[in-house]
Homo-oligomer: A and B are copies of this chain.
């Protein structure tokens, strides 16, 4: 579906639903939105706009990092929307020219619709131009990264506290899934941050220079997001190390108990074994207090063992 808002030089809005009757040279600026376009509509990128084939290729194919490319008569931007449920990424592409912005996306995004509707319904159109439309959509895209990382932080806190008493296996699995998600997030947030940095420091983008506080506000958000991602990755590593340390300490404790029990009972059981032997001539067996002496001996050995481990500081 192709939708157009064209703004006349006296700030009136005209809308089109196809490109056949649109002559963008007549307008102050236009926003052309390719929303889930058909193959025929995609061809308009070439037939109507005559964009460079490499830009069209990047736009139409999915494997891209957020980036910008300068061409002679337009600038091409790739941005990423993250799906909070499965951490997949979807592109919104923009072609920004001297009096137009083209947005292109294979899904219907609320980030686009909200700005579109506000532009349709609002009166104050004077401050807006094609760069402001681009800014508004970008601002919404970046704002929607925050709930994703907040959710990750919640899960991390839950893993740290483990209020639901999950087993270690499940916790470790969750922890490594979080690390994976943070890695995915970083591969969107960092290129987006670099993209904004290049936009703010570019010599070629006159339209963005007039809006520096606006784009710089988005850059702030991305700097903050990038720090949050890195910091949360460090926290996952800390939790993992904490688990490993705790585990190795606990293993030590378990093994000490095992060793104490074994060390106390092995000699006792051996002594009992000796006097359970059936030799015909065993003088102790016929001694009157033989039984009690042997019990006493066992008691002494048990106490010696006990105090030896006590002095070693094992308990």
Contacts and interface: CB of A to CB of B under 8 A. Distances in A.
B235 A183 contact: yes
The main secondary structure of chain A at its interface with chain B is helix
Interface in A231-256: 231, 234-235, 238-252, 254-256
A172 interface: yes
A262 B265 CA distance: 10
B238 A244 contact: no
B269 A172 contact: no
A249 B172 contact: yes
Residue of A235, A240, A269, A280 contacting most chain B CB atoms (<10 Å): A269
Nearest to A172: B245
Contacts of A239: 176
Contacts of A251: 248, 251-252, 255
A66 to B, nearest CB: 11
A279 interface: yes
Contact of A269 (B65, B173, B270): B270
Interface string A170-209: 0011001001100100010000000000000000000000
Contacts of A275: 277-279
A235 B274 CA distance: 55
Interface stretch (A85-93, A105-113, A215-223): A215-223
Nearest to A168: B249
Given A169-B249, A247-B252, A224 B63 contact: yes
A132 interface: no
A163 interface: no
A1 interface: no
A266 to B, nearest CB: 4
Interface string A249-288: 1111011111101111111111011111111111011101
A124 interface: no
A69 B268 CA distance: 77
Contact of A52 (B180, B213, B291): B213
Contacts of A235: 180, 183
A16 interface: no
Contacts of A220: 58, 64-65, 67
A48 interface: no
17 contacts: A57-B217, A58-B220, A65-B224, A243-B245, A244-B244, A244-B245, A245-B247, A248-B248, A258-B259, A258-B263, A261-B262, A262-B266, A265-B267, A269-B269, A279-B291, A281-B290, A282-B291
Given A67-B220, A245-B247, 15 more contacts: A57-B217, A65-B220, A69-B213, A172-B242, A176-B238, A176-B241, A180-B235, A187-B231, A255-B255, A257-B259, A264-B266, A265-B266, A272-B274, A275-B277, A278-B285
7 A-B pairs with the lowest CB-CB distances in the bound complex, closest first: A272-B273, A265-B266, A275-B277, A279-B291, A258-B259, A276-B276, A282-B291
